[in-house]
Structure 1
């Protein structure tokens, strides 16, 4: 129990640091991209490459952690992220768009490793407390939502160029994170009561034939994909197209990130009381309200309300999906199942992020928002059909 509490505390600190780096990259990505790129259509490419890097890094991250352990994976990712942030700062100083894109892509790969923090937390406690452990790790991102913008605000105190200053401060923060992670003592195995505990280890196709596993993966995939898609488009839509200030744009992104992670203070409890499927359903409903608000206008208040609700909906779908996921596989299937989930989640997010900039520049904010509706309908259909599909597979 003592090790579990210490591990959770250290993992929360690590989550804070990784999220702060993500917030800085998302906030700067489209804006720096617009300054350095040769075409407006390429403005969101740096953020898209961050998400693509995360997608590409998911399977190697699972494989390397299976081979060397999660602690080494986390420490290596923190050190690599520090280097990547320095590389991003240098690219701005040298006005090299390609180098900035390389740096954000590398940051994305590092974030693929940090995505495993929630699994490390879940494996540190009994399965009955996994939802709470996952939500606590995501709650650590509240600090990241505050630290990231604060580093942006303090950037001018380090360098004449505020972008460069903020990135260098973040690089130092990741070095501190690598030191913190040295004190982790993660269990080599964990207790788990899987839904199909009596079954032998399944292949990838076998896992994908499990309706609960499919629901868990798709809810996380759609929840994360829609969030990334709209979040990537927001800074460019607000600052570049609508002319809102950089300060207002950063404030909206900060409110969005808080909307993503503050609910983690209570979403674990809600999952324990009401179950994963209900929480996922609530997340879909909140996304629908988000779409409605985003379509009513493009003033600061519309962006703020829509992005806060976007964060809340993401939290319910992502935490609900992750908690359901760990109940659908056996211990020996964990890295395989987690790799499938992470590849689907971040691969879809990468596609959405890549599409966001092009669709925004060609068709505008309204079409970007409307185009999320089919994905939400898909999750709704799965929520309705999963109990029936489970009943059929058990016959």
Structure 2
């Protein structure tokens, strides 16, 4: 997890120096998301063929490729290599996203999905500090024509350590059904209400978060003139806010239901717009990015926990692939357009453009609340 926040902080700042046009400064970050989107289906299929563990090691290999390409991008001033680094990190992230489904499979009981996700996503708290700190520690570690070459070297060491820790993972045994051909098609799965609510909750969470977060470092550094330290701390605070609620979100799902927790996430996203539109001082960026992280956590965690209800165990890989392709495909569009939107229309218009996303999140929350009421009445 630490590699992505490191790339978010470092790649856009490095890209400003070496990109042919400043509007392309967020392209490496967008390529992370595009790599995740394009790699989601192959990652799921390869994990089905190779297993979670061997597939996981393949993902770590792409993370190391990212670090290697990023190092040479910084030392040679190559924007193409920086874009390649972002895309490689995205593919690695596509494999990493499959780990959350492995966590759900490890517990088996749907009642434990929320707590399992809380533990899993809680790892992001470490990445919130570690990733940006790696970017700053390595900024001038290696003498080169541009900064941050050492950041990629340090990150490669963290990736290798993660691969060693992953060797302790033991794949859970899944009860596969033999008559797969007799089951519903993928089209029937993705058209089901359970899949649509789960996928769109996760999609809205990522589109809104990525669109605003991708533009934040550039707005703070290039538009408002804040220091690298201030920018780093805001990004760190945002990532902490993304994962700290995981300590409670699993319990809250069981306590109030996914629909109401999604509604809280929608309110947090509305708060992002209110605070962000109120001004562009440091406190406004802090407040908006913290609420952005909280909203993402509740909406994404609920979407992930709701997804297994849409498929049978033997259908999990194709359903998970379709879900992640939807989520990260739309996120790729948001990331890719963030830099262009910011430099052409400004921070205020960018936030106003997010208003329909917030309204959609509210509407989806209401739909899920009604679904949960209907289910409870049927059980009675």
Common fold: TM-score over 0.5: yes
Q: Residue by residue, what CA displacement relative to the aligned partner does 1:282-330 show, whole Å, maximum 9, x if unpaired? A: 1111100111111111111100110011000000000011111122221
| In the alignment, structure 1 residue 114 sits paired with structure 2 residue 99 | no
**Equivalent residues of 2:36, 2:91 under 8 A apart:** yes
Question: How far 1:387 moved relative to its partner?
Answer: 6.6
Q: 1:6 is matched with which residue?
A: none
Q: 1:169 is matched with which residue?
A: 154
Of 207-216 and 306-315, deviating more is 207-216
Q: Residue by residue, what CA displacement relative to the aligned partner does 1:78-99 show, whole Å, maximum 9, x if unpaired? A: 1221121121011110011011
Q: Residue by residue, what CA displacement relative to the aligned partner does 1:51-93 show, whole Å, maximum 9, x if unpaired? A: 1111111011111001110111111111221121121011110
| In the alignment, structure 1 residue 286 sits paired with structure 2 residue 271 | no
**Equivalent residues of 1:227, 1:314 under 8 A apart:** yes
Q: 1:323 is matched with which residue?
A: 305
The correspondence of residues 233-248 of structure 1 with structure 2, limited to 5 A, is: 233-248=215-230
The correspondence of residues 14-163 of structure 1 with structure 2, limited to 5 A, is: 19-125=1-107, 126-156=109-139, 158-160=141-143, 162-163=147-148
Question: How far 1:388 moved relative to its partner?
Answer: 6.4
Distance 1:212 1:112 in 2: 23
From the superposition, tell whether residues 209 and 172 of structure 1 become closer, same or farther in structure 2 (CA, over 3 Å).
same
The correspondence of residues 242-321 of structure 1 with structure 2, limited to 5 A, is: 242-321=224-303
Aligned residue among 320, 323, 332 for 1:338:
320
CA RMSD in angstroms, aligned pairs only: 2.0
Question: How far 1:380 moved relative to its partner?
Answer: 2.3
Distance 1:40 1:383 in 2: 38
**Equivalent residues of 2:134, 2:154 under 8 A apart:** yes
Q: 2:179 is matched with which residue?
A: none
Secondary structure of the residue that 2:278 maps to in structure 1?
coil
Distance 2:294 2:235 in 1: 13
Q: 2:194 is matched with which residue?
A: 212
Aligned residue among 167, 182, 186 for 2:167:
182
Question: How far 1:188 moved relative to its partner?
Answer: 2.8
Distance 1:274 1:51 in 2: 32
Distance 1:82 1:336 in 2: 27
Of 91-100 and 209-218, deviating more is 209-218
Question: How far 1:159 moved relative to its partner?
Answer: 1.8
Distance 1:137 1:203 in 2: 30
**Equivalent residues of 1:118, 1:134 under 8 A apart:** yes
**Equivalent residues of 2:115, 2:251 under 8 A apart:** yes
Q: 1:362 is matched with which residue?
A: 344
**Equivalent residues of 2:265, 2:299 under 8 A apart:** yes
Q: Residue by residue, what CA displacement relative to the aligned partner does 1:198-250 show, whole Å, maximum 9, x if unpaired? A: xx632222122221221111010000111011110000111011111111111
Secondary structure of the residue that 1:142 maps to in structure 2?
helix
Secondary structure of the residue that 2:2 maps to in structure 1?
helix
Gaps of 5+ in 1: 1-18, 192-199
From the superposition, tell whether residues 389 and 281 of structure 1 become closer, same or farther in structure 2 (CA, over 3 Å).
closer
Gaps of 5+ in 2: 177-181
Of 88-97 and 161-170, deviating more is 161-170
| In the alignment, structure 1 residue 229 sits paired with structure 2 residue 214 | no
